[in-house]
Amino acid sequence: MKSRAAILRGIGQAWQVEEITVDPPKANEVLVNWKVAGMCHSDEHFVTGDMVPPQDLLDLMGAKFFPFVGGHEGAGIVMEVGPGVTSVKPGDHVSASFVPSCGRCRYCSTGRQNLCNFGAGTLMGHMITDGTPRHFDKDATPVTMMAKLGTFSEYACVAEASLIKVEPDLPLDAVALVSCGVATGWGSATKRADTQPGDTVVVVGIGGIGINAVQGARMAGAKRIIAIDPVEFKREKAMEMGATHTFASMAEAMQSVNEITWGEMADRVIMTPGVLHGDMMEEAMALVGKGGTCVVTAISPMTENDVKLNLFQLAMWNKEVKGTIFGSLNPRADIPALLDMYRAGQLKLDELITKRYTLDEINEGYRAMRDGENIRGIIVND
């Protein structure tokens, strides 16, 4: 079938809305009509090249990265299923899961679905089911689908392992947000940082993920939630979501955090800036108090290896640094759980959406994100 999709053809280029061809689903695959796509910062990292594999690695693998259909945060409706699909049927509403879960590997079987072995292939090549392509541009060239989802396309062929059935009465824009940004931020605070009642939590970077780390910290019972972002609009939104203090930079926050904690500093620091560079970690770790935790959630350039860190203080103050993907949550369990919290009025989702866009307005939406005008923009396909 034919589908309109936003395609990236190289680093530094704009998204181009073109027609692609989507082949029917094969075994363990599903044809999805994506209704809503979240405009996550992760897709911007392909425009800047931060998440594009180095050319020498691509050459070694004999792989091509571009053309590339973006979008990994989304919600849609099942149109058709291939042989062997059992968890969804045509007409079902589904959430995307940018981390697939096979349910059988070592990580899935030990409750760490966010580390499923299927995830290793989601940024390269073709289908994770059989390694062959289902999506082609106007020149019949296979296109790479972001996280094997490509929610910036009206239709996509997706592995069953990358979809989670949701209740049909839930708004699809809320479902889309939970599929990445909300879960990643909320889990960074609640699961990976293990925020406890009475903690002091610092969140650095208030975008689509950081704002939900603020929500997670609030729901976990943090006493103080300090939101740091240079954009005043984002600091104001953080206060609406539960922040108790805001600052424009880590440097500006340092003395105040020292004062309000009586010198103990933060129990948890969660790093969610738009792009994380190694030199930012020195200030982040200075905000962490004795026995405290720094969670690294944000994306860094793939080839960046240098980090500035005081190793003496890391050891002598018993601090720790943790990485996380998907907030260390389990997609199949936690996406429905978060939607239940939304239904109960405990988790704010509607308030996260700054503006809705059509697919043709995708470049305007990402300009607004870069300029700090959006917490989260979404693309809606009627």
Q: Which residue has the higher pLDDT, 374 or 57?
A: 374
Name beta bridge partners: 217. none
Going by pLDDT thresholds of 50, 70 and 90, the confidence category of residue 145 is very high
* CATH code of 245's domain: 3.40.50.720
237 and 129 together in one domain: no
Name beta bridge partners: 227. 203, 246
Distance from C-alpha of 216 to C-alpha of 349, rounded to nearest angstrom: 12
160 and 11 together in one domain: yes
pLDDT in tens, 210-235: 999 999 999 999 999 999 999 999 99
pLDDT of residue 356: 97
248 and 298 together in one domain: yes
9 and 151 together in one domain: yes
Going by pLDDT thresholds of 50, 70 and 90, the confidence category of residue 63 is confident
21 and 70 together in one domain: yes
Mean pLDDT value of segment 243-255? 98
152 and 8 together in one domain: yes
User: Which region, left, alpha or beta, applies to residue 246 given φ > 0 means left and ψ of -120 to 50 means alpha?
Assistant: beta
Going by pLDDT thresholds of 50, 70 and 90, the confidence category of residue 69 is very high
Within 10 angstroms of residue 318's Cβ, the number of other Cβ atoms is: 11
Mean pLDDT value of segment 46-53? 89
271 and 315 together in one domain: yes
Going by pLDDT thresholds of 50, 70 and 90, the confidence category of residue 302 is confident
pLDDT at 7 over 90: yes
Q: Does a structural domain hold residue 176? A: no
pLDDT in tens, 194-206: 999 999 999 999 9
* CATH code of 104's domain: 3.90.180.10
111 and 24 together in one domain: yes
Q: What is the largest CA-CA distance in the chain?
A: 64
pLDDT in tens, 347-375: 999 999 999 999 999 999 999 999 999 99
pLDDT of residue 93: 98
Distance from C-alpha of 72 to C-alpha of 98, rounded to nearest angstrom: 6
pLDDT at 124 over 90: no
Domain boundary (309, 325, 341) is at 325
| DSSP letter string, 217-272 | HHHTT-SEEEEE-S-HHHHHHHHHHT-SEEESSHHHHHHHHHHHTTT--EEEEEE-
Percent of the chain clearing pLDDT 70 (strictly above): 99
Domain boundary (325, 341, 362) is at 325
Which structural domain, as residue segments, surrounds residue 191?
Answer: 184-325
pLDDT at 122 over 80: no
pLDDT of residue 303: 86
110 and 142 together in one domain: yes
pLDDT at 58 over 80: no
H or E stretch including 19?
A: strand 16-22
Q: Does a structural domain hold residue 201? A: yes
Q: Does a structural domain hold residue 79? A: yes
Q: Does a structural domain hold residue 145? A: yes
Give rounded-to-5 percent helix, strand, coil for the chain: 35, 25, 40
Residue at 104: amino acid letter: R
Cβ–Cβ under 8 Å, residues 242 and 217: yes
For the chain, the residue count is 382
H or E stretch including 2?
A: strand 2-8
Distance from C-alpha of 227 to C-alpha of 290, rounded to nearest angstrom: 20
189 and 283 together in one domain: yes
Q: Does a structural domain hold residue 311? A: yes
Distance from C-alpha of 130 to C-alpha of 142, rounded to nearest angstrom: 15
40 and 103 together in one domain: yes
80 and 162 together in one domain: yes
pLDDT of residue 101: 92
What is the overall mean pLDDT for the chain? 95
pLDDT at 60 over 80: no
Going by pLDDT thresholds of 50, 70 and 90, the confidence category of residue 126 is confident
Q: Does a structural domain hold residue 139? A: yes
| Helices first, then strands: H and E counts in the chain | 11, 18
Q: Does a structural domain hold residue 337? A: no
Q: Does a structural domain hold residue 125? A: yes
Lookup result for tokens 């389990």: 330
Going by pLDDT thresholds of 50, 70 and 90, the confidence category of residue 56 is confident
Going by pLDDT thresholds of 50, 70 and 90, the confidence category of residue 54 is confident
Count of domains observed in the chain: 2
Angle at 168 between CA 27 and CA 126, to 5 degrees: 30
pLDDT of residue 123: 74
